[in-house]
């Protein structure tokens, strides 16, 4: 089973789903966890993919733990129904953690994609940092996107032979979009301003006053830069969208949109002079597009982008956001990274590597270290 419940999970699983279906056929079941079912369908659809099963969504209001318990039970039931032997989860979402709990409870092999991401604070961002650390303790196989992530796992005493360093599967989707000749409808921002700032906000750690602080910092930036404007795709969570809309709506150089198709969003991101975000995925994508990013968070689990000079971490405070943005606007636009093995998040072929590994492992599931292709520039960690 490959499990997905959110838009970022879908995007980071596209290449893996495709490659495993080619290599393994009906031995792979793609399951929507029920966390955001409509978004899962809509995100996979442009790639010609769809879930094999969609689990029931949690009904009504409830705590985060109640949602996790519900999805855990639904996923475990689906594992029984489809006679699943191993479960693949991606990242640090409620779906990933629920899938990990279900697999562990059922005695199934757990495979974690994008394993080993860590911040210095075991509780921040919450709940993502908590989820990924707990998944790390449950997983049997760990696919680390970077050397830093692999080192984190080694420091937590995960055996080296259980870790595969593959690159990040999210970069696979980015590469495919940039290589595609398909044209998508553009957001018509040039009619209103000359320079584009892309704003995306969704992290639980920024719910409430911090969201407003970030938005006020962006408004201050617009006041200082009359040729700049903002495009902000609103997150569907009302705890985010309502506050952002309340703070930013009505400004003549702010365009608030519904969530964008991935291809459309990448086209927008490519045109941006600057990005302000609390997203993790954009920290990975922007360096390949040559866009500087201000990350309004206390910490980041993607230090590679900071070291490379593309990501600038600031507090979610009005003044800090303004100062960071103004400083970056005085600098030339950074050069895009190449899709090669030297790039911090890989060459955009991680899904192919993981699918190759899964194919070899399923032929010999009791093997401790499946063989990798000697042609793969990024492979298993050596002991």
Q: CB 53: neighbour CB atoms within 10 A? A: 13
Q: Tens of pLDDT along 316-354?
A: 999 999 999 999 999 999 999 999 988 999 999 999 999
DSSP code for 120? S
**What gap in Å lies between CA 133 and CA 117, rounded to an integer?**
8
Q: What CATH class has 195-329?
A: alpha beta
Q: What is the domain partition of the chain in residue ranges?
A: 2-168+348-363, 195-329
Confidence of residue 368 (pLDDT cuts 50, 70, 90): low
Q: What are the CA-CA distances from residue 380 to residues 143, 144, 361 (Å)?
A: 9, 10, 13
31 Cα distance to chain centroid = 18
**What gap in Å lies between CA 13 and CA 87, rounded to an integer?**
13
**What gap in Å lies between CA 33 and CA 191, rounded to an integer?**
41
Residue 367: is its pLDDT beyond 70? no
Give the torsion sign (CA, 229, 231, 235, 238).
positive
Residue 138 near residue 354, CB atoms below 8 Å: no
The pLDDT score that the predictor gives to residue 209 is 87
Residue 78 near residue 55, CB atoms below 8 Å: yes
Instruction: Return the higher-pLDDT residue of 280 and 129.
Output: 129
Find out if CATH 3.40.50.2000 is the number for domain 2-168+348-363: yes
Residue 297 near residue 280, CB atoms below 8 Å: no
Residue 382: is its pLDDT beyond 70? no
Per DSSP, the three-state class of 170 is helix
């Amino acid at each position: 089973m490959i499990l997905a419940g959110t838009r970022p999970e879908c995007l980071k699983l596209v290449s893996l789903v495709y490659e495993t279906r080619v290599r393994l056929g009906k031995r792979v079941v793609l399951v929507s966890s029920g966390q955001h079912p409509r978004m899962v369908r809509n995100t996979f659809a442009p790639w010609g993919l769809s879930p094999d099963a969609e689990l029931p969504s949690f009904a009504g209001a409830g705590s985060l733990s109640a949602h996790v318990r519900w999805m855990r039970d639904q996923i475990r039931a689906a594992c029984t129904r489809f006679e699943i032997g191993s479960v693949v989860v991606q990242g640090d979402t409620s779906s990933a953690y629920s899938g990990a709990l279900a697999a562990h409870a059922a005695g199934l092999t757990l495979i974690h994609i994008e394993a080993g991401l860590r911040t210095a604070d075991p509780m921040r961002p919450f709940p993502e940092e908590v989820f990924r650390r707990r998944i790390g303790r449950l997983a049997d196989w760990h696919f680390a996107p970077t050397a830093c992530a692999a080192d984190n796992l080694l420091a937590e005493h995960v055996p080296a032979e259980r870790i595969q360093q593959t690159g990040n599967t999210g970069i696979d989707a980015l590469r495919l979009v940039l290589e595609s000749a398909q044209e998508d409808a553009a957001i018509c921002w040039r009619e209103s301003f000359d320079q584009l700032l892309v704003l995306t906000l969704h992290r639980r750690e920024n719910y409430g006053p911090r969201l407003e602080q970030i938005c006020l910092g962006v408004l201050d930036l617009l006041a200082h830069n009359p040729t700049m404007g903002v495009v902000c795709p609103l997150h569907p969570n009302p705890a985010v969208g309502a506050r952002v809309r309340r703070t930013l709506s009505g400004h003549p150089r702010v365009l608030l949109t519904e969530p964008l198709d991935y291809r459309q969003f990448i086209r927008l991101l490519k045109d941006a002079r600057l990005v302000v975000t609390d997203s993790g995925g954009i920290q990975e994508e922007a360096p390949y597009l040559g866009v500087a990013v201000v990350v309004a968070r206390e910490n980041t689990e993607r230090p590679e982008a900071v070291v490379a000079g593309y990501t600038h971490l600031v507090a979610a405070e009005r003044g800090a956001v303004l100062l960071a943005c103004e400083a970056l606007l005085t600098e030339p636009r950074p050069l895009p990274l190449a899709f090669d093995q030297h790039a911090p998040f890989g060459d955009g072929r991680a899904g192919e590597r993981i699918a190759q590994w899964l194919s070899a492992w399923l032929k010999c599931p009791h093997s401790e270290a499946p063989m990798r292709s000697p042609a793969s520039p990024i492979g298993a960690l050596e002991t």
